Amino acid sequence: MKKKMLDQTLALAGVFQAARMVDNIAHRGSVPEQSYEESINSLFSLDPSTVYDVYSTDHAAQLGLDIIEQVLSQEKPGQYAETIRYTLALIHLEKMLSKKAGLLSTIRRRVETSKDQIKHFDSSLHAAIISKLASIYVDTLGTFRFRIQVRGNANYLQNPVNTDRVRASLLAGIRSAMLWRQLGGRRWQLFFNRGKLLQAAHELNHQDGSVIIH
């Protein structure tokens, strides 16, 4: 398996995982905390040398890899319909963002500020940090004409805490979509490179508890 395909697939798994966080919050009002923390922490790796600097822990983005395997193998495609929709929307929105140098600079500067403030709280998942990440999304990506419509239980989505978590997850998805594109990932690969993506996801997801460092 070529390193390039493995790298692209891990970054793509980050998009799927963030998208799944959005879906979970919208329909359940909760998230798998480890996966959620992995997604949020990926935002704070601002100058990675490799994709593994972004997903540095053992089996980071494993939930995303699981979803890729199940969707591409046609095991449970319907179960992930909303997750797939959010993933494609994040890829589209990130492509639009990539042409806006000013907004990219703003996002980076504000993420750096949020990263510096983590040490004042108990974790990157503190409500104050998530709120700041959510505001970054609103003030930058929220200004685009194209909007990601989040569907779910109104009782959950009307809760300000959940609204912040959704927006922070979307920002994390954008970060992974950017990494995927920088590594050569393209939307057409989701349709025409299904076999290679599935094989790469399977290989990454079954590495005996460790990530291969290249």
pLDDT at 90: 98
pLDDT at 214: 26
Averaged pLDDT score across all residues of the chain: 91
**Cβ(43)–Cβ(111) under 8 Å?**
yes
- Segment 120-135 shows an average pLDDT of 95
- Segment 87-102 shows an average pLDDT of 97
pTM strictly above 0.85: yes
Structure-token pair, residue 121:
């709280």
pLDDT at 190: 87
Q: CB neighbours (10 Å) of residue 56?
A: 16
Question: What is the full DSSP assignment across 133-154?
Answer: HHHHHHHTGGGSSS-----S-H
Which one has a higher pLDDT value, 113 or 188?
A: 113
pLDDT of 171 over the 50 cut: yes
Residue ranges of domains in the chain, CATH in brackets: 3-205 (1.10.3890.10)
pLDDT at 208: 46
Contacts of 19 (CB under 8 A, 6+ apart): 83, 84, 86, 87, 90, 169, 173
User: Is residue 81 very low, low, confident or very high in pLDDT (cuts 50, 70, 90)?
Assistant: very high
Question: What is the full DSSP assignment across 6-32?
Answer: HHHHHHHHHHHHHHHHHHHHHHHS---
Which one has a higher pLDDT value, 125 or 56?
A: 125
**Cβ(155)–Cβ(27) under 8 Å?**
no
User: Is residue 77 very low, low, confident or very high in pLDDT (cuts 50, 70, 90)?
Assistant: low
pLDDT at 125: 96
Q: In degrees rounded to 5, what are phi and psi of residue 30?
A: -150, 165
pLDDT of 60 over the 90 cut: no
pLDDT of 103 over the 50 cut: yes
User: Is residue 206 very low, low, confident or very high in pLDDT (cuts 50, 70, 90)?
Assistant: confident
Question: What is the full DSSP assignment across 95-117?
Answer: HHHTT-HHHHHHHHHHHHHHHHH
pLDDT of 117 over the 80 cut: yes
pLDDT of 4 over the 80 cut: yes
- Distance separating alpha carbons of residues 112 and 71, to the nearest angstrom: 34
pLDDT of 211 over the 50 cut: no
- Segment 114-123 shows an average pLDDT of 92
Looking at residue 80, the DSSP 8-state letter turns out to be G
pLDDT at 58: 64
pLDDT at 173: 98
- Segment 184-207 shows an average pLDDT of 89
